[in-house]
Amino acid sequence: MGKTRLEAFSDGVLAIIITIMVLELKVPHGATLDTLAPLVPVLLSYVLSFLYVGIYWNNHHHMLHTCKHVTGGILWANLHLLFWLSLLPFVTGWMGENHFAALPSAVYGVVLLAAAIAYFVLQQRIIASQGPHSALRHAIGSDWKGKLSPVLYVAGIGLTFVNATLGQALYVVVALLWLIPDRRIERSLHGTT
């Protein structure tokens, strides 16, 4: 089975997720700056989630580049990842509308953590399907980003109950960590071609 439709479907879902998040920015009923002010935290949470969906799309793109055959297991691992990412608009809106309160920030981190685990599972499925000389396993190397992120999410979730801002700062740190495009796979592929 080819991967074209898997990519097309994933692109479609990610494009919709990234765009419907903006619907949580409800149009205010006045035309003054005062009416815009309460939307600032919603906008900030939107920016963070936009970055995360962009990062996932980017890395997903790179990862599937190494994948030739799509098995049933890969299909479902991919849907599992999309499920957690589909909850981002909800937790983004909840965190933004409550001005980054502790509990919504923690739940936001839980969704990020679950998505990271789902991404890891998908990665393992693809590696397993590629056999002993997996191009993806070679490409990700030590995968220190993939291993560090869940640890930082868990730390962030815990921190939100001590100081919500510190916890959110950790989520931003992980985003910045990934924002640097994942050149590992690119390099590795170039190295072998």
Point out which residues bind a copy of itself (CB under 8 A): 1, 5, 7-9, 11-20, 22-25, 27-33, 36, 47, 50, 54, 57-58, 61-62, 65, 72-73, 75-76, 79, 82-83, 86-87, 89-90, 93-94, 97-98, 101-104, 107, 179, 181-183, 186
Q: How many other CB atoms are there within 10 angstroms of residue 73's CB atom?
A: 15
Cβ 109 to a copy of itself, closest distance in Å?
Answer: 14
The number of angstroms, rounded, from the C-alpha of 138 to the middle of its chain's C-alpha atoms is 22
Taking a C-beta distance cutoff of 8 angstroms, is the pair 69, 128 a contact? no
- Return the number of the residue (147 or 187) whose C-beta is nearest a copy of itself: 187
At position 103, the amino acid (one-letter code) is L
- Return the number of the residue (151 or 163) whose C-beta is nearest a copy of itself: 163
Cβ 108 to a copy of itself, closest distance in Å?
Answer: 12
Cβ 130 to a copy of itself, closest distance in Å?
Answer: 18
Helix axes 102-129, 164-179, angle to 10 degrees: 30
Cβ 145 to a copy of itself, closest distance in Å?
Answer: 14
- Return the number of the residue (47 or 169) whose C-beta is nearest a copy of itself: 47
Lookup: tokens for 11: 């692109």
Lookup: tokens for 6: 């898997």
Concatenated DSSP letters of 64-88: HHT-----HHHHHHHHHHHHHHHTH
H or E stretch at 179:
helix 164-179
Cβ 18 to a copy of itself, closest distance in Å?
Answer: 6
- Return the number of the residue (147 or 186) whose C-beta is nearest a copy of itself: 186
- Return the number of the residue (13 or 151) whose C-beta is nearest a copy of itself: 13
Taking a C-beta distance cutoff of 8 angstroms, is the pair 61, 184 a contact? no
